[in-house]
Structure 1
Amino acid sequence: MRRLGLAAAAAIALIFDATVPARAQWIVFDPNNYVQNVLTAARELQQITNQITSLQNEAQMLINQAKNLASLPYSSLQQLQSSIQRTQQLLAQAQRVAYDVQQIDHAFSTSYAPAASSQSDQLLISNAQSRWQDSYAATQDALRVQAGIVGNLDTNRIQMSALVTSSQSASGALQATQAGNQILALNAQQLADLTALVAAHGRAQSLEAAQRAAAKDQGREQLRRFLTPGQGYQSSNVQMFH
């Protein structure tokens, strides 16, 4: 009976094994393994997100650097140089006793020199006429310089407006710096115009003062000659202004 039972059990086992497909497998779910896989995938996704953010930041940094290195598209240098050249030309056109040390020394050793008894009346009158012409020319030169500087005001206004607009719309540090430098250059040009105006006005005043001083000295000499006994006054035809 024991042998018969074992044989029957073996037969049943063979029958069951024959009825199950050869490729069938049992699926086993492991929760711990699943959780670990999910966490690993999440960490990898976070790393990828961090890398994308880093690349975006680097790209924005490069864009900002390009903006900071971009040059200002507007330049007022040519207009400022033209204004300075116009003022310089007006100063260079100064008449008679101009802005030259040698000319000044020569004038004050001749027509502006103290009147001497050895000088003739005609020479004294000629020196007086020369001094008046110097003062007249210096006054005219000062007015011409003033007119030229006033003419530069409209150009300066246009340049200042353009530079301020460029500075406010600057896309980077370099553009803002260049706009600031050009505004400083405009201020320097205006200061040069002011210096030229002061020089021209001062020249006219100085020549006028020198003329008055020389005229007083010449008047004393002529009075001395008039009052000198035996010499007396001798009339003559004199053309003072022409």
Structure 2
Amino acid sequence: MRRPFACFLITTLPLVALPVTGLLAPPAAAQMMVYDPANHAQNILQAVRALQELEGQVQQLAHEIQMLENMARNLETMPVSVAESIIGQRILQIEAVLRRARGIGYSMADIERAFEAAYPEDYGAATPGAVLVEDARARWRQSRDAFRETLEISAAALAGNEDDAGAVRRLVTESHNAAGALQAAQAGNELAAMTTQQLMQIEAMLAAQHRAVALEEARRLAEETRGRARLQSFLGSGD
């Protein structure tokens, strides 16, 4: 009875072991993953370089944007002109007073003719006394009008000093707070224009004053000539 069981066990043992061996064997399609430290480090270095290049491009774009913003500020103009209306109005006002000049005015074409007529170099002995008196009155009126016009021009020049001072203060503030180079240049130009206006006003006042003084001096000389003519007329009539 023992021998047949032993034979049966030996006979069946290989049959049981075969499936176990087949299960433990690795599949033919499986592949092993190999870690390469050098390749991994190279990949990291390339990524860092790409990131640095991208950061440099971002900084360059930021600089270009800042430059464009600065250019836009430099090209920004002043919202309004501070001095334009003041300068134009003041100069026109003074010109209107100059154009109203009576007698001998400021026209180069008319001065010589009008001066010779009002202030003759000599009177003839036969000049009537009434003509001498009328000429003297005309010259007196011219001198009087010239001094009055001098006062009018001075008043017109000084009438807006408070406005001029306010405009200058505002322009200085605009220049100080200018957003860019163009606004600062415009404020400086308007300050220069205000200075030019002041110089033109001074020029007009000096011209009016010199005109009044010249007419008064001419009147004095004409009166001397008139006195000699009257004396000659009186002496002639006495003979």
TM over 0.5: yes
Change (3 A) 1:81 1:21: farther
Contact 1:167 1:180 in 2 (8 A): yes
Partner SS for 1:110: helix
Contact 2:125 2:232 in 1 (8 A): no
Task: Find the counterpart in structure 2 of residue 237 from structure 1.
Answer: none
Gaps of 5+ in 2: 1-13
Q: For the residues of structure 1 that align with 2:26 and 2:69, how far apart are their CA atoms?
A: 65
Cα shift at 1:222: 1.9
Structure 2 residue corresponding to 1:91, chosen from 60, 82, 98: 98
Task: Find the counterpart in structure 1 of residue 59 from structure 2.
Answer: 53
RMSD: 2.3
Does residue 31 of the first structure (1) align with residue 37 of the second (2)?
yes
Does residue 19 of the first structure (1) align with residue 24 of the second (2)?
yes
Contact 1:68 1:174 in 2 (8 A): yes
Task: Find the counterpart in structure 2 of residue 210 from structure 1.
Answer: 218
Does residue 154 of the first structure (1) align with residue 162 of the second (2)?
yes
- The residue identity in structure 1 corresponding to 2:224 is K
Q: For the residues of structure 2 that align with 1:229 and 1:195, how far apart are their CA atoms?
A: 50
Cα shift at 1:35: 1.3
Q: For the residues of structure 1 that align with 2:115 and 2:50, how far apart are their CA atoms?
A: 94
Structure 1 residue corresponding to 2:85, chosen from 67, 78, 89: 78
Partner SS for 1:28: coil
Alignment map for 1:187-202 (pairs within 5 Å): 187-202=195-210
- The residue identity in structure 1 corresponding to 2:211 is R
- The residue identity in structure 1 corresponding to 2:95 is Q
Change (3 A) 1:58 1:229: closer
Cα shift at 1:94: 1.3
Change (3 A) 1:230 1:203: same
Contact 2:126 2:233 in 1 (8 A): no
Contact 2:104 2:115 in 1 (8 A): no
- The residue identity in structure 1 corresponding to 2:77 is S
Select the structure that is richer in helix.
2
Q: For the residues of structure 1 that align with 2:33 and 2:132, how far apart are their CA atoms?
A: 133
Q: For the residues of structure 1 that align with 2:34 and 2:177, how far apart are their CA atoms?
A: 68
Change (3 A) 1:66 1:117: same
Alignment map for 1:40-189 (pairs within 5 Å): 40-75=46-81, 76-113=83-120, 114-189=122-197
Identity %, equivalent residues: 35
Q: Which protein is bigger by CA-based radius of gyration?
A: 2
Task: Find the counterpart in structure 2 of residue 5 from structure 1.
Answer: none
Gaps of 5+ in 1: 1-7, 232-242
Task: Report the count of equivalent residues.
Answer: 220
Change (3 A) 1:118 1:111: farther
Cα shift at 1:221: 2.0
Contact 1:80 1:189 in 2 (8 A): yes
Partner SS for 1:80: helix
Q: For the residues of structure 1 that align with 2:115 and 2:77, how far apart are their CA atoms?
A: 54
